[in-house]
Amino acid sequence: MARPAIITVDDDAPVSAAIARDLRARYGAEHRILRASSGAESLELMARLLLRGQPLALVAADQRMPGMTGTELLARVRADVPDAKLLLLTAYADTEVAISAINDIGLDHYLLKPWDPPEERLYPVVDDLLSDWHNAHPEQTNDVRVVGHRWSEASHLVKTFLANNHVPYVWLDIERDEEGARLRDLAGADAADLPLVLVPDGETLRAPTTVAVASALGLRTRAERDLYDVCIVGGGPAGLAAAVYAASEGLSTVVVEHDAPGGQAGQSAAIENYLGFPRGLSGADLAQRAIAQARRFGAEMVLARDVVALEARGPVRAVRLDGADDIEARSVVLATGVSYRRLAAPGLDELSGRGVHYGSNAGQAAACAGDDVYVVGAANSAGQAVLNLARFAGHVTLVVRGESLATSMSQYLVERIRADARIRVLCSTEVVGARGDGHLEHLTLVDRHTGATTEVKADWLFVYIGASPRTDWLGADVVRDEHGFVVTGHDLLGGRRGKDWPLPRPPFALETSLPGVFAAGDVRSDSMKRVASAVGEGSMSVYFVHRYLATI
């Protein structure tokens, strides 16, 4: 791939030279740094790049320019190169304009002038923007290729695993892509062998498990040590926060995740109310940043392994894995989060993975291009999914059991959904049936007021209802409430549960009924069920891990 371009735009010649100099010093080896003195000149530069098929990574424009303001220019760039990163250089007096541009044109960041010293004020911002751009534009030569069928559940699972672990891949449908059919024939593969996973410099994988895919890609599927200070079960926001704080404070730390770090939040196309990110960020971006932090401090990640039991072995806690050696640790943090509840309607189970999906990742939207898509749910996760799917789908319908969205969804999402002509909302409605020949083709809806049923054409159904905790594997030593969520802290001592605590000392906050085992995030009884609170509880759990370790 040609070196990606960075265009700087400023009508003040000394300022233009200064920012070009600073960017060239840091990024010139891997990027082309191009200067323009006006919006019109920068658009000409951009046009030449596009005609030559050369990538544009970033445009940094001053706000106050004659003829065309920075925001007007960046709006043109967003329309012509939607994936380019946009940086507005502005004075304090134009802050309101910059904030409006975040909503109006999708501005990625604004930077107050002057930016000296660049090591503190310019480079960290540009580093983040270029990192995001490069993650979204990996070179194709070393991509994993997945060959399969569009409506195959096994193909869907492999693609989801790769996407959630930020592994670039090329999807080749044997019915739509000649190259996919050619590769299938070259491999001598039949339907039982699909999907094929073609790893550069590796063996062809036929209908592989996620463990086999992870191993082929060099992802760690087994722990390295015999004993850890803390084992964190679950790699969502709570688990990753716990890993960052534990590892940074010198505790030997391992995270076990059955799928990929990020959890449900990692599948979100946009988290727009997370503190410190005025434009919002994707769940995948948040997860990737947290993973990098945790690994930087020395935390291990064990992927694609299911945890099947938790045992107390004297002062040690043992986490038992399916298909791998047990992990022993002096303390454990349960951060397994929740999964979406299954929708009970005839025909849905048979079509699971064949058009019917529970949750989705942001990249799945492109597969729905031009199709009829239905989403069930009324919480923020459903709202974010609907907005993301509407960018590609022919029609998107949100099905809601309640009377309105406002009772369960954040207002900013409700307003955006109402303003989007591509989205229809059906309140007081339920999905009561599904049918299709090999994949979803029709849904049956019922009006909860009248009882009238309607059959509609549907290619995809994404379900975002309720929350079921992943606690079936915990033994009787870990007390759960009537819904399966883990009970912690003072709730173990009295009140509604009676006494479920075995020691003379009171339990630490977040500590479960098994001393030395803590719960954080959505899996904990009475937790807030928000990304920010999960991060807070994951961080806080490490404080109590330290206090517990001091007692043994």
Tell me whether residue 150 is exposed, middle or buried, using C-beta atoms within 10 angstroms of its C-beta: 0 to 12, 13 to 18, 19 or more.
middle
What sign does the dihedral 227-233-238-241 (CA atoms) show? positive
**Amino acid identity, position 53:** G
Lowest mean pLDDT among 140-154, 208-222, 247-261, 340-354: 140-154
Distance CA 32, CA 455 (A): 55
pLDDT value of position 285: 87
Residues 471-499 have a mean pLDDT of: 86
Output 473 or 274, whichever has higher pLDDT. Answer: 473
Answer yes or no: is pLDDT of 49 > 90: no
Whether the CB-CB separation of 523 and 338 falls below 8 Å is answered with yes
Tell me how crowded residue 97 is: count the other CB atoms within 10 A of its CB: 19
pLDDT band at 50 (very low <50, low <70, confident <90, very high): confident
- Cα 433 to its chain centre, rounded Å, is 30
Domains 5-136 and 227-339+468-549 share a fold: no
Tell me whether residue 312 is exposed, middle or buried, using C-beta atoms within 10 angstroms of its C-beta: 0 to 12, 13 to 18, 19 or more.
middle
Determine what percent of the chain is predicted with pLDDT higher than 70: 98
- Cα 157 to its chain centre, rounded Å, is 16
Whether the CB-CB separation of 407 and 382 falls below 8 Å is answered with no
Q: Over the stretch 129-179, which tens digit does the pLDDT of each residue have? A: 999 998 888 764 557 899 999 899 999 999 989 988 888 889 999 998 898
CB crowding 476-491: b at 16 or more within 10 Å, else e: eebbbbeebbbbbbeb
At the topology level of CATH, where does 349-463 sit? FAD/NAD(P)-binding domain (3.50.50)
Distance CA 516, CA 546 (A): 10
Distance CA 481, CA 546 (A): 26
Q: Over the stretch 255-270, which tens digit does the pLDDT of each residue have? A: 999 988 888 887 777 7
User: Cis peptide leading into 200, omega within 30 of 0?
Assistant: no
* Assigned CATH for 5-136: 3.40.50.2300
Calculate the alpha carbon distances from 33 to 1, 36, 58, 257 in Å. Answer: 16, 10, 10, 41
Give me the residue spans of the domains in the chain.
Answer: 5-136, 140-216, 227-339+468-549, 349-463
Answer yes or no: is pLDDT of 443 > 60: yes
Q: Which long-range contacts (CB under 8 A, 24 or more apart) does 271-274 make?
A: 271/384, 271/531, 272/412, 272/413, 273/410, 273/412, 273/532, 274/531, 274/532
Tell me how crowded residue 452 is: count the other CB atoms within 10 A of its CB: 9
Distance CA 500, CA 360 (A): 38
Calculate the alpha carbon distances from 479 to 115, 294, 524 in Å. Answer: 54, 29, 11
* Assigned CATH for 140-216: 3.40.30.10
Distance CA 108, CA 333 (A): 35
Nearest one of 440, 364, 427, 439 to 398, comparing CA atoms: 427
- Per the structure block, which two tokens stand in for 77? 């760039």
Q: Residue 435: beta bridge partners?
A: 442
Query: Looking at domain 227-339+468-549, which of 3.50.50.60, 3.40.50.2030, 3.30.70.2740, 1.10.3720.10 is its CATH number?
Result: 3.50.50.60
Among 42-46, 201-205, 244-248, name the most confident range: 244-248
Answer yes or no: is pLDDT of 424 > 60: yes
Grouping H, G, I as helix, E, B as strand and the rest as coil, residue 522 is helix
Query: What number of residues does the chain have?
Result: 552
Tell me how crowded residue 304 is: count the other CB atoms within 10 A of its CB: 23
Whether the CB-CB separation of 532 and 265 falls below 8 Å is answered with no
Distance CA 155, CA 151 (A): 8
Whether the CB-CB separation of 135 and 105 falls below 8 Å is answered with no
Q: Over the stretch 282-293, which tens digit does the pLDDT of each residue have? A: 888 899 899 999
DSSP 377-404: --SHHHHHHHHHHTTT-SEEEEE-SSS-
- Per the structure block, which two tokens stand in for 545? 């891990």
- Per the structure block, which two tokens stand in for 173? 């449908």
Residues 501-513 have a mean pLDDT of: 94
Distance CA 466, CA 358 (A): 11
Distance CA 150, CA 176 (A): 9
Q: Which long-range contacts (CB under 8 A, 24 or more apart) does 415-424 make?
A: 416/383, 416/387, 417/383, 417/386, 417/387, 420/387, 420/390, 422/390, 422/393, 422/395, 422/396, 423/386, 423/387, 423/390, 423/396, 423/397, 423/398, 424/395, 424/396, 424/397, 424/398
Answer yes or no: is pLDDT of 335 > 90: yes
pLDDT band at 97 (very low <50, low <70, confident <90, very high): very high
Whether the CB-CB separation of 86 and 105 falls below 8 Å is answered with yes
